[in-house]
Amino acid sequence: MKKWIAVPCLIWALGAGTAMAADVPAVPPSAAEAVEQDKEDARAIGPLDLNMADWYEQAGYLLTEDRLPDNTTFHSLMGTKSSGGLLAINKDGKTVTACVSILSPASDRTRMFMQGFFMPGDQMSIASSLEVMAFNRRLYRMEADANMMFLNTIKKFRTPETPIPYDLVTLSVNRIHPAAAMSLSPRIYDSDFRSIFVVDGFMIPVYSRLYLFKQGGEARLMILGSWDSDHELVKDTGDKIVKKLAQ
């Protein structure tokens, strides 16, 4: 099960990859000044190296009962200090589970940069919009990148005695919803994609959904992963949770 949890994280890591921008925009005092400051920051923007390492810090225990829909319970896999675990959703006599993890920026640099997504007046900085574009570009490249990685791994283990098929593991990513603002006030960004891992012919359809929002003065990244067949219910539940969490 733990491996299953790692899958959406891996997908996200592949998708997030690297992006652009160099200097972190400071938090501006007002909306008008923010726009002016943003213009100046934009001129100085260079490459940025945002990747999973910048997010590898578990947020606290945020998925408390009052923040969950009535038909949903949270089962932490990391004690009461983390929001990493499983959501169990009951509907029409069925139980559906989804892996969930809420992460915080792991460095001051990322923390500062993320403020650009939540500027006063519910605006987004130019640096942040470039980050979104970079993320989406990586999202569309994810399938090719992942399959290249799988192929290179298989080549390492393939021998004449054990002729592992080159296509033993492949990934097909389809139905991509690129990162965009799902709510303007408060600002919430979302993205999801539906992928199919084919492992030795067995198809494993997976649904992954991401939210970027601000909670407790801090940017948060919530990752959900489930079977594809449960995508509607998981999306609906995730949307409800993030709207309660976002400030």
Q: Please report, as ranges, the residues that interact with another protein according to CB under 8 A.
A: 1, 75-77, 85-86, 88, 93-97, 164-165, 168, 194, 196, 200-205, 227-233
- Distance between CA atoms of residues 74 and 228, nearest Å: 20
What number of other Cβ atoms are within 10 A of residue 240's Cβ?
Answer: 15
Residue linked to tokens 């492949």: 170
Quote the least distance from Cβ 198 to another protein, whole Å: 10
Q: How far is the CB of 71 from another protein (least distance, A)?
A: 13
The Cα–Cα gap between 24 and 47 comes to 11
**Pick 147 or 172: Cβ nearer another protein:** 172
Q: Residue-wise over 73-99: b if at least 16 C-beta within 10 A, else e?
A: ebeeeeeeebbbbbbebeeeeeebbbb
Task: Give 218 or 228: the residue with its C-beta nearer to another protein.
Answer: 228
Min separation Cβ 64 and another protein, Å = 17
In angstroms, give the least distance from the CB of 139 to another protein: 19
**Comparison of 79 and 217: residue with beta carbon closer to another protein:** 79
User: For the chain, where are the E strands, in sequence order?
Assistant: 19-20, 47-48, 57-58, 72-76, 85-91, 94-104, 169-184, 187-199, 202-215, 218-227
Q: Which is nearer to another protein, 228 or 239 (CB)?
A: 228
Nearer to another protein, 56 or 197 (CB): 197
CB of 201 to another protein, least distance (A): 4
